[in-house]
């Protein structure tokens, strides 16, 4: 390891690269020709930084908001856009009135698909559904055997939020049963409530930052549809390495 073997060498690589960067940036690059007035104006308003470049008075996401795909203003719009996007992504969505209906739905899924073992994590939305499933279960909250998880038919998780704009589901290693549960089993079942739907990717990221206040989980992942590949003749195939099926149980 470099730290054990050659700390002096490592330091100097760092210093050399940083020196090269400082040297390279002494000549400022021309500003790109932005089409948008907002950005041009924002730049003009910004103060100059040490390198003589304007610091940003505008943030890329702030100016881009009205230009990116629509995520909906009202809860009803968001739900509609989310459902449309998930359908195009070939995710399966079940709208359910309450947790009892969700439990029944999970039961039916396990039956239909003949699941033998499903894995889950301790979470107020997930645990209550597992008591009645017609198969054995594996809980992965604490240390677990990855060989056993590999043999599971489905992983059942909560999520951080659902993004209408892109049909993405945000999961984290902190609140959704770690890193492997949502990717290793052949199917991924997500249980969420309608109030977890947010409009845009930016909203989802801001919410996660606020929720974990300065200590983000070691993994945050936007899942957008079941795993897929187009590597063979650019023909779409679902279930490349991750889950072949992505099933959302949306309660409320």
Partner 1 sequence: MIANAKKQFLHDADEHVRDTGHRAFVQRALGGYYTSRDTQKARYRDWEHARDAASLAKWSAVNRLDELLPRFVANFEANGGRVHWARDAEEARRIVLDLLRAAKARAVIKSKCMTSEEIHLNAAMEQDGYGVVESDLGEFIQQLRGEPPYHFVFPCMHVRRGEISDLFGKHLGTPPTDSPEELTMIARRHMRRLYVDADVGITGANFLVAETGQISITENEGNARLTAALPRVHIAISGIEKVVEHLDDLAVLLPMLATAGAGQPMTCYNTLYAGPRREGECDGPEEMHLVLLDNSRTAILADPEQRDSLHCIRCGACLNVCPIFKNVGGFTYGTTYQGPIGSVITPHLRGLADWNHLSGASSLCGACTDACPVRIDIHHHLLHNRRNAARTAPHWLERIGHRVFVAVASRPWLFATGGAAFRKTLWLAKKLRPPLLRDWLASRDLPAAPSRSFRDEWSRRR
Of the pair 105, 165, the CB lying nearest partner 1 is at 165
CB of 101 to partner 1, least distance (A): 29
CB of 130 to partner 1, least distance (A): 16
Of the pair 36, 100, the CB lying nearest partner 1 is at 36
Of the pair 109, 119, the CB lying nearest partner 1 is at 119
CA dist 52 → 18, 21, 133 (Å): 18, 15, 64
CA dist 172 → 33, 59, 127, 157, 186 (Å): 38, 26, 17, 10, 19
CB of 57 to partner 1, least distance (A): 11
What is the C-alpha separation between 241 and 189, in angstroms, rounded? 16
What is the C-alpha separation between 77 and 204, in angstroms, rounded? 17
Of the pair 168, 196, the CB lying nearest partner 1 is at 168
CB of 62 to partner 1, least distance (A): 9
216 Cβ partners below 8 Å, 6+ apart?
A: 208, 209
């Amino acid at each position: 390891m470099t730290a054990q073997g050659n700390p002096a060498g490592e330091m100097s690589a760092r210093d050399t690269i940083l020196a090269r960067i400082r040297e390279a940036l002494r000549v400022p690059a021309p500003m790109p020709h932005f089409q948008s007035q907002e950005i041009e104006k924002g730049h003009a308003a910004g103060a100059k930084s040490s390198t003589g470049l304007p610091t940003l008075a505008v943030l890329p996401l702030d100016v881009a908001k009205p230009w990116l795909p629509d995520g909906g203003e009202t809860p009803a719009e968001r739900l509609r856009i989310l459902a449309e996007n998930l359908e195009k992504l070939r995710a399966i969505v079940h709208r359910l009135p309450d947790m009892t209906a969700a439990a029944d739905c999970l039961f039916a899924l396990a039956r239909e698909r003949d699941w033998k073992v499903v894995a889950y994590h301790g979470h107020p939305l997930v645990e209550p559904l597992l008591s009645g499933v017609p198969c054995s279960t594996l809980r992965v909250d604490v240390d677990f055997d990855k060989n056993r998880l590999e043999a599971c038919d489905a992983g059942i998780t909560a999520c951080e939020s659902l993004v209408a704009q892109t049909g993405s589901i945000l999961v984290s290693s902190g609140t959704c049963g770690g890193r492997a549960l949502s990717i290793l089993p052949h199917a991924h079942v997500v249980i969420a409530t309608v109030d977890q739907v947010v409009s845009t990717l930016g909203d989802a990221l801001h919410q996660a930052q606020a929720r974990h206040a300065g200590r983000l989980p070691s993994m945050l992942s936007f899942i957008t549809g079941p795993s897929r590949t187009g590597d063979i003749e650019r023909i779409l195939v679902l279930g490349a390495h991750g889950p072949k099926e992505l099933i959302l149980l949306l309660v409320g």
